[in-house]
Structure 1
Amino acid sequence: MENLVIPKSIAIILDGNGRWAKKRNLPRAMGHKAGCETLEKTVEDCVRLGVECLTVYAFSTENWKRSAIEVGALMKLLRFYMVKLIDVANRNNVKAVMIGDESRFEPDIRKGIRKLTEATKNNTGMVFAFAINYGGRDEIKRAVENIVDDVESGKLSKENISEELISSYLDTNDLPDPDLLIRTSGELRVSNFLLWQIAYSEFYITDTLWPDFDKEELLKAIESYSHRQRRFGGR
């Protein structure tokens, strides 16, 4: 593929793990495991393509409503991959950061998150942001609560509230807004992901289930993006 315009920032809604497993008569947990393996490869593919920031929707605030068995399996995978991602990130000079509310996780998972982010904080290559216990509305709610606290304490004047200031209170305050949002499995919704940040993102929807998403599929998304004429409301 020639003349690809590589987005500086890509966000992906990882969808279809359960359907992938069902098609193969496997437990849903096996679909999530396959999805984690795909994520490892995608991180490395994005690094090699020159993407500066990759943000993935791994576990939403709504995912707690799934069965106790599935949530338990997801937590087990999270524990395992928090450790494994240290090696993947350091091998590729990737800085890993979390967005979302970690307070609901068990102490050992919170410790694993901190260990991953601490072990990769000095890496200077691509930033890999993983959204876990994340919801766009929850993120904005937490930001508003913090802004109100700062106004009431006198730290901030309400006259100073601007779009830039609101952005600085979000989980993604150090991250660029996504240029390209990819959603797998053919679903046509944003599912409460990065509601503030995707205001001008280009969308790409593929029917491919997340565990089957590979470098070829990533390049298809980038090729589609390369042919877009981006507009930001000014014309």
Structure 2
Amino acid sequence: MSGEGQHARHVAIIMDGNGRWAKRKHLPRAMGHRKGVEAVRELVRSLRDTSIECLTLYAFSSENWKRPEDEVDDLMNLMRKFIKSDLPEFIANDVKLHILGDWQALAPDIVEMLEDALEQTSKGSRTLAVALNYGSQAEIVQAARKAAAAGEITVESLAANLFSAPLPPLDLLIRTSGEVRLSNFLLWQAAYAEMIFTDVLWPDFTPDHLKQALEDFANRERRFGGR
């Protein structure tokens, strides 16, 4: 498929660099996370001006529990505030929330808030998918178990049991902050996705950076293993 003018329907972002952003500005890590949430907010608001049908964000990995307890607590509190403050805007802007990962294992009040948010946004036409307590290898193992229990394991049956099953195929994966690795994120889904690694730290990532990434994607030639 020629890349000329193609549109990315599903974009995923590994939001990296909050801690480094704070360190460079001699601020506590918590301030980096807060600024990172502001970047999420601006990006979600800009979606209506793009071709994107689904934006998937890596918010909290299953490995993030290894971080210091006060940092994890701060991240969880930020999540609570974000859901409370932004849910009405999601509804108003026709944004549907989807969650990837073992999110039911989070604190009971967060689980309740997320269940409410999923229900209230279920009619949205554009999707914000959030990876919470997520690890791609565990997702693939779980999907394989479910596929095996139902019958034969095939590419199709495994894909149908992934957290991302209702979402469009992944077109573009972006990672901020200069790191060049997937960090156990969407390993199966990224099989033929285009990738962009940028040195921009996540709190500094703007809708203009996303627009530039979409233009870059539009000019790439995707062969999907063909010639």
State the TM bucket, normalised to the shorter chain.
over 0.9
User: Map of 1:172-211 to 2, 5 A cutoff?
Assistant: 172-211=164-203
CA offsets 1:94-116 (integer angstroms, 9 cap, x no match): 11111100232110010011111
Q: Which residue of 1 aligns with 2:24?
A: 23
Identical residues among aligned pairs (%): 45
Residue ranges of structure 2 left out of the alignment (5+ in a row): none
Q: Which residue of 1 aligns with 2:161?
A: 169
Aligned residue pairs, count: 224
Deviation at 1:4, TM superposition (A): 5.6
1:51 and 2:52 matched: yes
In 1, the alpha carbon distance for the partners of 2:6 and 2:82 equals 31
Q: Which residue of 2 aligns with 1:139?
A: 139
CA offsets 1:14-38 (integer angstroms, 9 cap, x no match): 0001111111111111111111111
Contact 2:147 2:157 in 1 (8 A): no
Q: Which residue of 2 aligns with 1:90?
A: 91
In 1, the alpha carbon distance for the partners of 2:206 and 2:97 equals 21
Contact 1:5 1:223 in 2 (8 A): no
Q: Which residue of 1 aligns with 2:82?
A: 81
Indicate the SS of the match to 1:131. Answer: strand
Contact 2:53 2:126 in 1 (8 A): yes
1:226 and 2:200 matched: no
Deviation at 1:57, TM superposition (A): 0.4
Residue ranges of structure 1 left out of the alignment (5+ in a row): 151-155
Contact 1:40 1:88 in 2 (8 A): no
Contact 1:6 1:49 in 2 (8 A): no
TM-score calculated relative to the size of structure 2: 0.94
In 1, the alpha carbon distance for the partners of 2:80 and 2:113 equals 7
In 1, the alpha carbon distance for the partners of 2:175 and 2:70 equals 26
Residue from 133, 148, 151 that aligns with 1:157: 151
Contact 1:4 1:222 in 2 (8 A): no
Contact 1:83 1:116 in 2 (8 A): no
Deviation at 1:187, TM superposition (A): 0.6
Contact 1:5 1:222 in 2 (8 A): no
TM-score calculated relative to the size of structure 1: 0.91
CA offsets 1:38-93 (integer angstroms, 9 cap, x no match): 10111121222131111110100110000001001001111111222312211211
In 2, the alpha carbon distance for the partners of 1:137 and 1:25 equals 36
In 1, the alpha carbon distance for the partners of 2:93 and 2:18 equals 25
1:217 and 2:218 matched: no
Q: Counterpart of 2:14 in structure 1: which amino acid?
A: I
Indicate the SS of the match to 2:34. Answer: helix
Q: Counterpart of 2:209 in structure 1: which amino acid?
A: E
In 2, the alpha carbon distance for the partners of 1:131 and 1:220 equals 24
